Amino acid sequence: MYCPLQDPSPLPGVMAERAPPPLKAAFLEDDVATDVAIVGGGFTGLSTALRLAERGARAVVLESREVGMGGSGRAYGQIVPYAKHDHNHIIHHYGSESGQRIVDAVAGGPDYVFSLVQRLGISCDATQNGLIFAAHCRSGAAGLEGRARYWQSKGAPVELLDEAATERLVGSRYYPFSILDRRGGTLNPLAFVRGLAAAVQRAGVPIHERTHVTGIQRTEAHWRLRTAKGTVTAKSVLIATGAYSDALHPALQRSIIPMRAHQLISPPLSDNVRRTVLPGGHSLTDTRRLFSGVRVLPDGRFHLSADGPAFAPNGESFHKKGYRRVHQLFPQIEEFAWESGWTGWVDMATDAYPHVHELAPGLWSIIGLSGRGIVFATLLGREMAERFTENRNYQPFMPVTPVPHVRIRPFAAPLVSALMTLYRAIDRIELATYVRPGRSTAA
Question: What is the contact surface with ligand FAD in residues (CB under 6 A)?
Answer: 5, 39-45, 62-65, 69-72, 74-78, 80, 212-213, 240-246, 248, 261, 263, 344-346, 369, 371-375, 377
Least distance (Å) between residue 342 CB and ligand FAD: 7
Least distance (Å) between residue 95 CB and ligand FAD: 25
**Residue among 399, 355, 383 at smallest CA distance from 109:** 383
Contact between 39 and 213 (Cβ < 8 Å)? yes
Question: How many whole angstroms separate alpha carbon 150 and alpha carbon 155?
Answer: 9
Between residues 141 and 346, which has the closer beta carbon with respect to ligand FAD? Answer: 346
> CB-based burial of residue 351 (10 Å sphere; 0-12 exposed, 13-18 middle, 19+ buried)?
middle
Question: How many whole angstroms separate alpha carbon 132 and alpha carbon 169?
Answer: 8
Between residues 178 and 365, which has the closer beta carbon with respect to ligand FAD? Answer: 365
DSSP state of 4: G
Between residues 205 and 434, which has the closer beta carbon with respect to ligand FAD? Answer: 205
Between residues 195 and 344, which has the closer beta carbon with respect to ligand FAD? Answer: 344
DSSP state of 68: T
Contact between 376 and 361 (Cβ < 8 Å)? no
Helix (H, G, I), strand (E, B) or coil at 179: strand
**Residue among 407, 406, 367 at smallest CA distance from 240:** 367
Least distance (Å) between residue 240 CB and ligand FAD: 5
Least distance (Å) between residue 41 CB and ligand FAD: 5
Between residues 65 and 289, which has the closer beta carbon with respect to ligand FAD? Answer: 65
Least distance (Å) between residue 49 CB and ligand FAD: 11
Contact between 391 and 278 (Cβ < 8 Å)? no
Between residues 127 and 241, which has the closer beta carbon with respect to ligand FAD? Answer: 241
Angle at 246 between CA 244 and CA 249, to 5 degrees: 125
> In 414-425, which positions are buried (b, 16+ CB within 10 angstroms) versus exposed (e)?
eebeeebeeebe
Least distance (Å) between residue 332 CB and ligand FAD: 25
The CB density around residue 328, as the number of other CB atoms within 10 Å, is: 16
Contact between 443 and 304 (Cβ < 8 Å)? no
DSSP state of 257: E
Least distance (Å) between residue 19 CB and ligand FAD: 14
Q: What is the gyration radius of the CA atoms in the chain, in angstroms? A: 21
Between residues 93 and 212, which has the closer beta carbon with respect to ligand FAD? Answer: 212
* CB proximity list for 1: less than 8 A, separation 6 or greater: 253, 254, 409, 410
**Residue 265 pairs with which residues in a beta bridge?**
303, 340
Least distance (Å) between residue 98 CB and ligand FAD: 22
Between residues 254 and 430, which has the closer beta carbon with respect to ligand FAD? Answer: 254
Between residues 45 and 176, which has the closer beta carbon with respect to ligand FAD? Answer: 45
Least distance (Å) between residue 190 CB and ligand FAD: 10
